[in-house]
Amino acid sequence: MNTLLNKKKEPIDKLAAASGRSLGGEAIRRMLRSPVAITGGIITGLFLIVAIFAPLLEPKDPDVHYLGDQIRPNFIPGAQSGFPLGVDDFGRDFLSRLIAGAQQTLIVGVLATIVGVLIGVIIGGLAGAFGGWVDTVLMRLVDVMLSFPSLLLAISIAALFAQPSQWTVILAVSMIGVPIFARLLRGSMLSQRDADHVLAARSLGVKRGAIVFRHMLPNSLGPVIVQATLTLATSILEAAALSFLGLGDPDPSRAEWGLMLGKASHQFLDVRPELAYYPAIAIIIVALGFTLVGESLREALDPKNRR
Amino acid sequence: MALLEVRDLKVDFVRRGERSFTAVDEISFDVEPGQTVGLVGESGCGKSVTSLAIMRLLARRGNKVSGSVRFEGTDLLKLSDREMRDRRGRDLGMVFQDPLSSLNPVIPIGLQITEVLERHRGMSRKAASVEATDLLDKVGIPDPSRRLSEYPHQLSGGMRQRALIAIALACRPRLLIADEPTTALDVTIQAQILALLRELVQDTGTALIMITHDLGVVAGLCDEVNVLYGGKIVERAQRHQLFGEPRHPYTHGLLASIPRLDAGRGEKLVPIRGSVSDNIPWEGGCAFAPRCPNALPVCREVSPQLVPDQGGLLRCHNPVRPAVAAGGGAR
């Protein structure tokens, strides 16, 4: 009898614990039940492991020219033992270069997103906190940025620099996200301005800085965080696109998926087409992974989806 | 000298290209230390705008506030923004209607209390959290030290309102404005919150302005009651006077429309006809005249003045006579 009672008590305790979970905990719990989130999570997780531990995982040194003696202007040796994906036009192991490229992709994508979020949050935060003419001026600026197609904007910014490098790519790609983050944050900051708890904080004489940073900003950041995961995917795509178009880092030793794809498709698509497929597939899969994670995060954080 | 002297407070909502709308029309009242004053009326009568105007929390643009609000002799309306911020929360506190949306959802309760203590009483974070535990205990929240680290959504509605009251009273303000503090709560919790407010007001000598549409709240709590209609005070009386002998037909109507346990079987409730119109003109006659059962021809022509009446104030040409009022006696 006693054990039966205890058994019955257990789920009730669990229920009680679940009801007291924070918003973040609730979102994680919901994501763990969604197949979309799990698929995205696995892809993203594998990519992160490969990118972070790239130097350990590369079977060969990605910068050493191995089969240089076999390469002719119109011949590149295919896959063979020791080179599962073959070699590129310099005889470098393609698998190792793909793995090294994962790290490059992660660095460029993450940094571009972070820079975009920072600039966007500063612009949107100022506009939302001050309102009035500050808001008007900043938002017109953002409108101008939004009026350019995103890739065109990135290309124009990248083309401004005489000496293209990894940093010009990061800066150019980050500018695509800036207007989106700025508008998002400004919108939710403005709605927070009239929120009851902000009025309550004002009725307590809380200082203006504390109202903005402690009461308005933390309540406005949710959509920005979700957008950042989605932007991570587009950042990777845009960075690859810039390299593909020859606006990326020209250093030939740098393993970068967009650059590898561009070179393979421009110069030896008819000789070794698979050298173009591999980086293209890698780009697609990684972008898909981040998109799935972002979408399911958005869904999980949406209070309307509460179950 | 009264703690708070509101004189001819007038709030106009101004919009470009449109006629301005007078939400609060020359309201005057006093609050003595330790006294509880009620502002009663239906939606749109200007009671919340009055409280926001006293606290100077109305939007910066789109309205014009005139008159004076003297708190211990200082006109709050003439203070700089910074001086007013220093007084809010320290001298004047406010409790809002919806306890969930009035708490910051992403910050633990404790931090929302210590924030005010650090701000106004210059306490260290450590001392403030000790004080916060004390405050939560005082407003009847069990296990207060655990509650400090909990988020608003983890508390029940009644607990949240208790927490809000604790925050508003953290710096022992001399005046507390409660804007419909029980409207969002269910009836049993309402009674608890009202009992808590009454106790706190008596213990600390805090003056209280109680804003409500619920006459039951007024009956239980207020010393003096102001009945508002269309932005003006239409009747002011001591609590017993108001419930025993309502003079204004509007007050009488409000009392008559409350269900009573001792009413005879089959006795119908008497509602007030019509509803508050958006813009009630007091210029040409009494604003209540279109809905008033006692209306005389003069009511639609001459706007009545607020005159002394039976120890209170009354704004009516044809008040309810005591004999008639007996039907709507004290609850």
> Is there a contact between A200 and B102 if contact means CB atoms under 8 Å apart?
yes
**pLDDT at A12 (0 to 100):** 44
In this complex, the residue of A22, A201, A206 whose CB is nearest that of residue B151 is: A22
Residue A177 has pLDDT above 80, yes or no: yes
Assembly ipTM: 0.84
What is the 3-class SS of A224-252, one letter each residue?
A: HHHHHHHHHHHHHHHHHHHHHCCCCCCCC
Mean pLDDT on A249-262? 82
H-state helical runs in A20-149: 23-32, 35-52, 54-57, 94-130, 132-147
Contact (CB, 8 A) for B39 and B209: yes
Considering only CB atoms, which chain B residues are within 8 Å of A207?
85, 119
Percent of chain A predicted with pLDDT > 90: 25
Is A85 an 8 Å CB contact of chain B? no
Distance from CA of A132 to the nearest CA of B (A): 11
What's the burial of A212, exposed, middle or buried (CB within 10 Å: 0-12/13-18/19+)? buried
What residue of B is the nearest CA neighbor of A208? B85
Half-sphere exposure of B219 (CA within 13 A, CB side): 13
Mean pLDDT across B12-20: 83
Residues found in chain B: 331
Q: How many CA atoms lie within 13 A of A96 on its CB side?
A: 20
Contact indicator for A234, A176 with CB cutoff of 8 Å: yes
β-bridge partners, A80: A83
In this predicted structure, the answer to whether residue A42 has a pLDDT above a threshold of 80 is yes
| Nearest Cα residue in chain A from B120 | A205
Q: Which of B71, B100, B104 to mutate to test the interface with A (most CBs of A within 10 A)?
A: B104
SS3 A197: helix
Closest CA to B120 of B95, B94, B89, B92: B89
Phi-psi category of B180—alpha, beta or left, where left has phi over 0 and alpha has psi -120 to 50?
left
Q: Please write the tens of the pLDDT for every residue from A106-149.
A: 888 899 999 999 999 999 999 998 888 999 999 999 999 889 88
Q: Is A23 on the interface with B (CB under 8 A)?
A: yes
pLDDT reported for residue A14: 46
**CB distance B96–A199 less than 8 Å?**
yes
Nearest to A252 by CA among A267, A274, A272: A267
Q: What is the pLDDT of residue B97?
A: 86
The distance of B84 to chain A (nearest Cα, Å) reads 8
DSSP A87: B
Mean pLDDT of B83-112: 90
In this predicted structure, what is the pLDDT of residue A184? 93
Which pLDDT belongs to residue A8?
Answer: 45
| Element housing A285 (H / E) | helix A274-301
Indicate if the pLDDT at residue B286 is higher than 90: no
Give residues 114 to 173 of A whose Cβ lies within 8 Å of B: none
Q: How far apart are CA A1 and CA B141, in angstroms?
A: 35
B97, A192 Cβ separation under 8 angstroms: no
Side-by-side strand order, sheet with B21-31:
B21-31, B4-13, B63-71, B74-75
The mean per-residue pLDDT over the stretch A155-175 comes to 87
User: What is the arithmetic mean of pLDDT over B278-291?
Assistant: 77
CA-based R_g, chain A, Å: 24
How far apart CA B22 and CA B279 sit, in angstroms, is 8
Query: At A173, which helix (H) or strand (E)?
Result: helix A166-193
Determine the Cα–Cα distance for residues B272 and A254; give it in Å rounded to an integer.
82
Q: What percent of chain B has pLDDT over 70?
A: 95
> Across the interface, do A201 and B104 touch by the CB < 8 Å criterion?
yes
Amino acid, single-letter form, for residue A133: W
CB contact under 8 A, A219 and B104: yes
Between helices A94-130 and A274-301, what is the axis angle to 10°? 30
Whether B198 and B221 have beta carbons less than 8 Å apart is answered as yes
Mean pLDDT score, A29-50:
88
pLDDT tens digit sequence for B49-72: 999 999 999 887 888 899 999 999
Quick one: what percent of chain A has pLDDT higher than 70?
A: 90
Closest CA to A126 of A251, A223, A212: A212
Pairing of strands B74-75, B63-71: antiparallel
Q: Does A18 touch chain B (CB under 8 A)?
A: no
| Average pLDDT rounded to a whole number, residues B163-188 | 88
Average pLDDT over residues B96-101: 87
pLDDT for res B280: 59
Dump pLDDT digits (tens) for A65-111: 877 777 776 777 777 777 778 787 777 888 888 998 888 888 888 99
CA A225, CA B224: separation in Å to the nearest integer? Answer: 52
E strand residue ranges, B14-124: 21-31, 36-40, 63-71, 74-75, 92-95
Cβ neighbours of B88 in A, within 8 Å: 202-205
What value does the mean pLDDT of chain B take? 86
Per the listing, tokens 């607020």 go with: B306
Asked whether the predicted pLDDT for residue B178 surpasses 60, the reply is yes
What was the pLDDT predicted at B15? Answer: 81
- pLDDT digits 0-9 by tens, A199-255: 999 999 888 889 999 899 988 888 898 889 889 888 988 888 888 888 887 777 778
